[in-house]
Amino acid sequence: LTERLQQAMSKLRKKGKVTEADVKEMMREIRLALLEADVNLQVVKEFTKNVRERAVGAEVLDSLSPAQQIVKIVNEELTTTLGSETVGIEKSPKIPTIIMMVGLQGAGKTTFAGKLANRLKKTENARPLMIAGDVYRPAAIDQLKVLGQQLDVPVFDMGTTVSPVEIVRQGLAVAAEKKNDYVLIDTAGRLHVDEALMEELKQIKELAQPNEILLVVDAMTGQDAVTVADSFNQQLGITGVVITKLDGDTRGGAALSIRSVTGAPIKFTGTGEKLTDLEIFHPDRMASRILGMGDMLTLIEKAQQDYDEKKAEELAKKMKENSFDFNDFIEQLDQVMSMGPLEDLMKMIPGMSQVPGMDNFKVDPKDIARKKAIVFSMTPEERENPDLLNPSRRRRIAAGSGNNVVEVNRMIKQFKEARTMMQKMSNGNFNVPGMDQMF
């Protein structure tokens, strides 16, 4: 969650019922979160209006605090607005299915054409043909040809001296002759929407009668995305949207704006420069991303049943003050064991994926049992003040818990390291090597 949202949530945490004032305050934070994610103002207004109507007087689930309830509603509405189900490529009843990419220069049209060709080949064993319709830059044709070579997908081009409409006409003839099942038409873009380009695209559309006109948009476009998407849609009638460059740290608010303004479904997302960096669009993930939530909602739901919030607050304070002791450690181990697989839970926390070693994070229940045994062999004073643990005490604990001193030492060392890491993390620093060794 963004910091503001989190603050608003903790304020609301103690209350039992959602009042209109609560909703108002939460909605202000949510509006800001959306605007920070570059969602268009008009879209934000409409969206928050819908949520407010749903949220006031909403029945509060016992297990959720009012703030969590509102976030849940926001997330559900966001998911619905983004389009509830994933829609694939609309196939033509007879071959070829013709797909035309449109969008501004640098949006990722050519790259997406390659990614889609790759995907169709892999998933359907398809035999696509790509047509090089961007004649304004010689490099654009070469770029598509290089992709074609890498993928072993034919590319039809006629250089830069023939009109794009003519190239498409002849390309389609080749596809008919070779019985290609898909034709992907790569078109030119401009830095801004312009009349000459739109005219050219309309002519290509007229001629090719594509099954899909996919608008390719860079997730980082920001506020401009709405105007761009609107004019492409007005002039060409787009059938779907592809959001690229979601691998960056943009929150992707453009997706919400475009979906609201055009009504066209978002079909794919690009998550990198490689040909395999293509994903089917998931509205729920996108919603969480826009709100900056990771999979926070799932985490809220999962942890809710087992986790006493007051304890969590105390713990957070202790982590910050570095006064986390062995009693807390045991409590944590028990919490963790009762919440289900820790590794799943950890991965849902935003920022956790940046922690080195987190990819192959595993928790061994036997190991946890041994650690508990060691702690139970400590005196109450030792548990509260780990600094008391000198070599003779450690030997006693080792004997008492049926471990050797090396194991006791290792466990105490890990505990101390974990404590330092938690202090760093509670101050917002997730880049802590060794986090995966914490429990």
Is 269 a known ligand-binding residue?
no
Binding residues with Mg ion: total (CB under 5 A):
3
Q: How far is the CB of 396 from ligand GDP (least distance, A)?
A: 57
| Radius of gyration (C-alpha) of the chain in whole angstroms | 28
Q: Does 110 bind Mg ion (CB under 5 A)?
A: yes
Comparing CA positions, the residue from 232, 149, 132, 138 lying closest to residue 184 is: 132
Among ligand GDP, Mg ion, none, what does residue 83 contact (CB within 5–8 Å per kind)?
none
Q: Residue 278: beta bridge partners?
A: 270
Report the C-alpha gap between 227 and 42 in whole angstroms.
12
The residue ranges that bind ligand GDP (CB under 6 A) are 103, 105-111, 189, 216, 244-245, 247, 270-273, 277
Report the C-alpha gap between 333 and 328 in whole angstroms.
9
**Two tokens at 155?**
């590319």
**Two tokens at 138?**
């010689």
Q: How far is the CB of 408 from ligand GDP (least distance, A)?
A: 48
Is 187 a known ligand-binding residue?
yes
Is 105 a known ligand-binding residue?
yes
* Residue 325 and residue 383 in contact, taking contact as beta carbons nearer than 8 Å: yes
Report the C-alpha gap between 244 and 307 in whole angstroms.
38
Q: How far is the CB of 232 from ligand GDP (least distance, A)?
A: 13
Long-range contacts of 135-140 (CB under 8 A, 24+ apart): 135/159, 135/160, 135/161, 135/162, 135/163, 135/164, 135/167, 135/188, 136/160, 136/188, 137/188, 140/110, 140/186, 140/188
Is 114 a known ligand-binding residue?
no
Among ligand GDP, Mg ion, none, what does residue 255 contact (CB within 5–8 Å per kind)?
none
**Two tokens at 165?**
């409409």
Residues within window 140-169 making contact with Mg ion, judged by CB under 5 A? 140
Is 109 a known ligand-binding residue?
yes
Q: How far is the CB of 103 from ligand GDP (least distance, A)?
A: 6
Among ligand GDP, Mg ion, none, what does residue 159 contact (CB within 5–8 Å per kind)?
none
105 or 163: CB nearest Mg ion: 105
110 or 180: CB nearest Mg ion: 110
Is 428 a known ligand-binding residue?
no
Q: Is the dihedral of CA 242, 119, 246, 156 positive or negative?
A: negative
Q: How far is the CB of 242 from Mg ion (least distance, A)?
A: 13
Is 104 a known ligand-binding residue?
yes
* Residue whose C-beta lies closest to Mg ion: 110
Binding residues for GTP: 103-110, 186-190, 244-247
Kindly list the residues in this chain that would bind Mg ion in the complex (CB under 5 A). Answer: 109-110, 140
